[in-house]
Structures are given as structure tokens and as C-alpha cells.
Amino acid sequence: MEKIPALGLGTWKAAPGEVTEAVKVAIDAGFRHFDCAYLYHNESEVGAGIQCKIREGVVTRQDLFVVSKLWCTRHEKSLVKAACTKSLKALKLDYLDLYLMHWPMGFKPGEEDLPLDRNGMVLPSDTDFLDTWEAMEDLVVTGLVRAIGVSNFNHQQLERLLNKPNLRFKPVTNQVECHPYLTQKNLINFCQSRDVTVTAYRPLGGSSEGVALLDDPVIQRIAQKYNRSPAQIVIRFQIQRNVIVIPKSVTPTRIRENIQERVFELSETDMNDILDLDRNFRMCTLPTAKNHKDYPFNIEY
């Protein structure tokens, strides 16, 4: 597999009416890595932006690194290939560079993304992520995807996968929530010691429902010191610790701003000051799934 580009464009909550243009702006600005998912219900519009730039001759398919994710209602082995093909069709691609298991948890199959019981809790499927993984491995063998990985796995779940008998392909990344308020030191150490890269999602603290991470006084002070924006500081922070980072924006000025991180370096002291902001603050907790047998956040990391 090609190395995962250190910086990618996130596409969650990128409205279908805005994301085609955002992808075009991003490609012109130099983004080559796009983080997509069936769940985001905008893969067709992301694909339109990609197609446009390939047709214009700005990039070739080989220049790009496109990621999608298998949603939880498709964990049955018999459903995995069709789910992947659906994402490929929407993205207008004949292969994905990377396909991730979005969560370690299987949900009841059907058209609803979050099938709930009477108490508002997720209805599980009786699948095991090790079996789902085997169906994902088949996608590599048949050439639909170049590599496979996981997302929202805790270290025990990742260990279990890595120790799976007859594992044909290792997960190349674990995509997890990661930012200065949730630095994920232990999980990153664990993953990197097992030769699994880490991809940081929610790196800017998310949208308005998120947290005002970019207003944090420490981030603000460091931003002023380097004459950079707070977003550029928290993006650079991840890249400097060898963590892949996928900030989302549909705003052209911000998309261009977010790729500027490459041209400066944070001092060790500033890196440590950012690490010290850790408060184990997790935003993406999927509370309706907290009773699921494979809920990942019941242990420390």
C-alpha cells in the first residue's frame, strides 16, 4: 500500500451542496487524501469533485488516497462486499486506497443507520468483528480496496485483531478521536509499537456542537508566537507526533489554511504544553451504543 498522506480532508457533515466544491478547492490547494464514509451520505458529491479534477487533468486517480468506511449495519460477512461496492459507485471509483471498519460494533442490518430499541438503545447484530475483518480481507484480495484498517478500536480490540489466527492483512491504521483535549498518548504508543498508524479525527474540536478548542488560551498563545492560526497549530501538533490528521472544512479559505501546517515546526516545549492540555475529553461517544458487547470506550484506552 502507498503510505497514507499525513494530512487529509474530513467530509463528515460536509453538506452535499457544499462538498463537491470543497473537494475541488482542496485538490487545487494540494490535498490528496480524502476521508469519506457511507454514513456521511455525501460520497456521491465527494466523488463528483474528485472526478471533476481528474477530468481537468489536475490529478490522476493514482495521485489520490481515498478512504471510506464500512458502516455498523453491514458487519455480516455477506453484506460487506455490497457495502464497499456501494461506496465505490457513489465515489465513482473502481478501488479505494483504504477501507475502514467504522466501529468494532455490528448493528442490526437494515436501512436505518442507527436501529434502536424501545429504550432508544442500539440494536446489535450477533456478529464478531473478527469475522467482519475476514470479509474485508477478501476485498483486498479481489482488488476493490488496496488496504484495510479500523476506527474507534480500543487497544484490547486491536490486539485481538492483530492476534487473530490466520490474519491475512493487518490493519494499517486505527482512526480515533484525537486532539489536545484527548491526546490519546497510550493508544498511540500501543498502535505505533504494533506498527499500526493512528489517524486523528475531530482534530479541531469539531463544529459548533463540539468544543471551543481553538479558543484555548494555550493554543492561542502558541498560534500568536508562530504567527499561525490555532487550527494550523493543532494540525501541526498531530503531524509532528507522526499522527495522520483529517480536518474537515467546506470553507475555501480554511481548507487552504489547514494545509499550510507543513511549513513550520513546533518546539518541544510547545508540543509538551499542548500535550499537557489533555483532559480525556471525548466527544464522539455514541451513547446509544454503550450497552453493546463491543462498545470501545469502557476501558481506559
Ligand X SMILES: NC(=O)c1ccc[n+]([C@@H]2O[C@H](COP(=O)([O-])OP(=O)(O)OC[C@H]3O[C@@H](n4cnc5c(N)ncnc54)[C@H](OP(=O)(O)O)[C@@H]3O)[C@@H](O)[C@H]2O)c1
Report the amino acid identity of residue 68.
Answer: S
How many residues bind ligand X, per CB under 6 A?
A: 29
Residue in 256, 269, 165, 201 with CA at minimum distance from that of residue 37:
201
Q: Describe the strand order of the beta sheet including 148-151 as a list of residue ranges.
A: 8-10, 33-35, 65-70, 98-101, 148-151, 173-177, 197-201, 244-245
* Site for ligand X contains 238 (CB under 6 A): no
127 or 175: CB nearest ligand X: 175
Residue in 100, 232, 202 with CA at minimum distance from that of residue 158:
100
Site string for ligand X, 90-129 (x = CB under 6 A): ------------x---------------------------
Residue in 224, 262, 240 with CA at minimum distance from that of residue 180:
240
Sole binder of ligand X in the list 44, 273, 284, 297 (CB under 6 A)? 284
DSSP result, 178-209: -BTTB--HHHHHHHHHTT-EEEEESTT--STT
Applying CB under 6 A, the span of 10-18, 91-99, 163-171, 261-269 interacting with ligand X comes to 10-18
Applying CB under 6 A, the span of 43-51, 110-118, 180-188, 198-206 interacting with ligand X comes to 198-206
Sole binder of ligand X in the list 73, 151, 157, 173 (CB under 6 A)? 151
CA 174 to chain centre: 8
Applying CB under 6 A, the span of 125-133, 165-173, 240-248, 287-295 interacting with ligand X comes to 240-248
d(CA 189, CA 261): 23
* Site for ligand X contains 68 (CB under 6 A): no
* Site for ligand X contains 174 (CB under 6 A): no
Residues annotated as catalytic are 40
Which stretches of the chain bind ligand X, using CB under 6 A? Answer: 10-13, 35, 102, 151-152, 175, 201-207, 214, 229, 231, 246-251, 254, 257-258, 284
